[in-house]
Amino acid sequence: MILGIDEVGRGPWAGPLVIGAVVLGKAKIEGLTDSKKLSKKRRDELDVLIREQADGYGLGWVSSQEIDQIGLSAALRLATIRAVEQVGASYSEIIIDGTINFLKETSKGKYVTTLAKGDLLVPSISAASIIAKVARDNYMAEQDALYPGYGFGSHVGYGTAAHAAAIAALGITPLHRRSFAPIAKIVGVEVAKTTKVIGDEAESVAAEFLERRGHTILERNWKTKFCEVDIISIKNDVVYFTEVKYRKDMKHGGGIGAITTKKLQKMRFAVDVYIVKKSLHSIDLRLAVMTLHNEPPDVIDFLEVE
């Protein structure tokens, strides 16, 4: 009785963000996998089967205007909440594809597990990814008739050369995400990124860096009332607690310079709390710091603190 959750439409220049949520229950549907690995015909076939046989499902939509108003991170949380609210079936576990718990600030947050590549591993997440993609693709195909010349039926809002050429010739539509840098650049508007947005981008780059090095991300922005850890990961049975430091310039040194005695004490305290909360025993633990610089962020160094 797993509630699987996955998103579609995080990166397009235009169109809504859609979150799918599915409880398959006892339904056994052959061929479920990451929606991107399926042909359109097969996705459409599976979409029908999922809606007919699953115990429950929901779709959470956030429009391009809402994304511009609240930002992508908040939009992901909002779409997830909207999707879950539509699921009438009972479930005993929630698994979200990826590494971020979008329900963390809700009453359901403590029951969530995040799983990288979950859409390949958990059938209910695969099903969520399929119904979300089919719903969004169908919506964008309908917009093709309302906004002829943009090709929404083919690229479904993603950034392509043809899409950029259409914007250059015809301008933008209400579907376009004005807060996205590529659109802002095309229409000649400078978008100022907030410190939080830059920090989120840096942490995403840091997480991808660790994954390329063989780490599995366990937590991002893990926090309690008294402490916080940017990224917790595991590699070869070693758990790493990584502080991520973005530097707009390197005048004041890299991230290691920010690890003062007081900061180190806070990091150690966070590790102690995590060990207790997760009931970890006899496991190797490491503190680390990662420095990122430039725009977009690049990893400058990754160092163990001790």
CATH number at residue 103: 3.30.420.10
Together in a domain, 218 and 118: no
Q: Is residue 145 part of a domain?
A: no
Final residue in a domain of this structure, among 121, 140, 159: 140
Together in a domain, 129 and 225: no
Q: Is residue 183 part of a domain?
A: no
CA 257, CA 188: separation in Å to the nearest integer? 38
Looking up residue 219, the CATH number of its domain turns out to be: 3.40.1350.10
CB 97 within 8 A of CB 127: no
Residue 248: domain span:
195-304
Q: Is residue 172 part of a domain?
A: no
Per the listing, tokens 């959470």 go with 60
CB 129 within 8 A of CB 119: yes
Together in a domain, 9 and 127: yes
State the total domains in the chain.
Answer: 2
Q: Is residue 146 part of a domain?
A: no
Together in a domain, 133 and 219: no
- Is 0.75 surpassed by the pTM of this model? no
Q: What is the mean pLDDT of residues 59-64?
A: 97
Using CA atoms, how far residue 269 sits from 220, 259, 262, 263, 274, in Å, is 17, 14, 11, 10, 9
Using CA atoms, how far residue 125 sits from 122, 164, 232, 274, in Å, is 5, 32, 23, 27
- Mean pLDDT check: name the lowest of 110-119, 198-207, 282-291: 198-207
pLDDT exceeds cutoff 80 at 72: yes
Q: Is residue 187 part of a domain?
A: no
Final residue in a domain of this structure, among 140, 174, 204: 140
What confidence tens digit (pLDDT) does each residue in 235-288 have? Answer: 998 999 999 988 776 555 555 666 678 888 888 888 888 888 888 887 889 999
Together in a domain, 131 and 255: no
